[in-house]
Amino acid sequence: MKSEPSFDHRPDPELGAALRTALEPHGDQSAFVARVMAQYQNALDRATIPALDVLAAWSRPGIAVAAAALIAGFLFGRNVLMPAQTSTPAYDAAMAPVEGPGLAALVSAQDPPDASVVFTTLVDQR
């Protein structure tokens, strides 16, 4: 046993060896390693379900974005493929001349229509 130096910077091999023996773990090291690795595997297994939840949560906005893109693509494609059809059948029907003052007169008039004209138009449409 060496004399006590104050704040010795070097480890004491004799004391170190005695302490190492005193603190030597019980049981086999490989069993401990296997136990830690089993816990590691359990942690990974437990992490699987939350990971799927996270992925599912991520997929919801993704589906919405994909649907919006599909609709936008459809509308754009239809306009590109059918540029000549600018008017719809409903618009043409509404603007077609009818007996009496008609819808055309109603939508193109500068002043508000007279109530009797509106009534007559509705009756004529029937």
Partner 1 sequence: MGNSESDNDLVAKALAGDRDAFGVLVERYAAQARRVARAVLGDPDDADDAAQDGFLSALVKLEQYDVRRPFGPWLMRIVANAATDRRRRRTVRRAEPLDTALVGGGPRPDAAAVRSELGDRLRSALAELPERRRTAVVLFDVEGYSHAEIAGILGIPEGTVRSEVFHARRRLRTLLADWKEQVR
Which residues bind to partner 1, rule: CB under 8 A? 1, 4, 6-9, 11-12, 14-16, 18-27, 29, 32-33, 35-37, 39-41, 43
In the complex, least distance from residue 47 CB atom to partner 1, rounded to whole angstroms: 10
Question: Quick one: 18 or 68, whose CB is closer to partner 1?
Answer: 18
For 101, the 3-state DSSP assignment is coil
In the complex, least distance from residue 59 CB atom to partner 1, rounded to whole angstroms: 23
For the four alpha carbons of 57, 59, 62 and 67, in that order, the dihedral sign comes to: negative
In the complex, least distance from residue 9 CB atom to partner 1, rounded to whole angstroms: 7
Q: 41 to each of 7, 35, 49, 105, how far by Cα in Å?
A: 45, 10, 14, 80
